[in-house]
Amino acid sequence: MGRLPDDTNPAPASVSGQNCASSSDKAQTSAAKLPFPEPPPCFGLGQLTRHNAMQLKQLNLATLPVTYGDTLYEQLQRHSEFSRLGYLGEVMVGAICCRVEAPATTAPGAKKKHRLYIMTLSVLKPYRRYGVASGLLSYVLSRASQPQTGGVELEDCYLHVWTENKYALEFYEKRGFVNEGIQEDYYTDVSPTSAYILRAPLPWIYADAKFASRHADDYDVTQHNLVATAPTPGGK
């Protein structure tokens, strides 16, 4: 999995303007109800498309210890419902990519439930103090907590985390994921090759109401297909 926000990184000057600076009050307000930070007002979400798939590849090359081929990015475009790019202002700084997995074989008459798998979650190093990873994860899990189309019912969300990435383990556990053990020889190009298996039941305990409605997205194709995470007072 991707390396996640690092507390030792200073705030980059490129996002320290008025919009982001005003996030301190919001962070103080949310701290009482959430055990993790919310992103600043200048945080936005963009859809993954064939036009920016290679931009996502460059992001992952810069942030992940594992290298993925072009085939993955072609497949990701078919799982775009639970994949989003994260922006601070005009700058793409992170992304989350997930897929819906079909249910395993079940007994006759048993209810079949799908699973959501987090393939990658990454944030550029200079931007890891802004709650970007939290915002991306919150969007996906809040959407996954809602009734799905086509009769799909999501039972849980899970992922693999490299056993050397203790910060990522803490990141997910703080957000309701449970460590269900270690899978040996999961990775082939890093050492050690083992990975933790983390799982969170759905609906997610921290599901955010502002992401609940599928009709709430407000895309602006002139600004990277940004998705408004909250209405702007007095906005058009």
Residue 61 is part of a domain; what is its CATH number?
Answer: 3.40.630.30
Identify whether the C-beta of residue 36 lies closer than 8 Å to the C-beta of residue 202: no
Segments forming the whole domain that contains residue 145? 13-102+113-160+206-227
Answer yes or no: is 131 within a domain.
yes
On the 0-12 / 13-18 / 19+ scale of CB atoms within 10 A, 44 is buried
Whether this prediction's pTM lies above 0.85 is answered by no
Determine how many CB atoms are found less than 10 A away from the CB of residue 211.
23
What is the count of structural domains for the chain?
Answer: 1
Q: Which residues of 3-26 are buried (b: 16+ CB within 10 A; e: fewer)?
A: bbbeeeeeebeebeeeebeebeeb
Answer yes or no: is 180 within a domain.
no
Percent of the chain beyond pLDDT 70? Answer: 73
Mean pLDDT of the chain: 79
Answer yes or no: is 66 within a domain.
yes
- For residue 227, the model assigns a pLDDT of 47
Answer yes or no: is 196 within a domain.
no
Answer yes or no: is 134 within a domain.
yes
Answer yes or no: is 216 within a domain.
yes
Q: Point out the residues that are catalytic.
A: 117, 160
Answer yes or no: is 232 within a domain.
no
- The pLDDT tens digits of the residues spanning 94-140 come to 999 999 998 876 666 667 789 999 999 999 999 998 899 999 999 99
Answer yes or no: is 153 within a domain.
yes
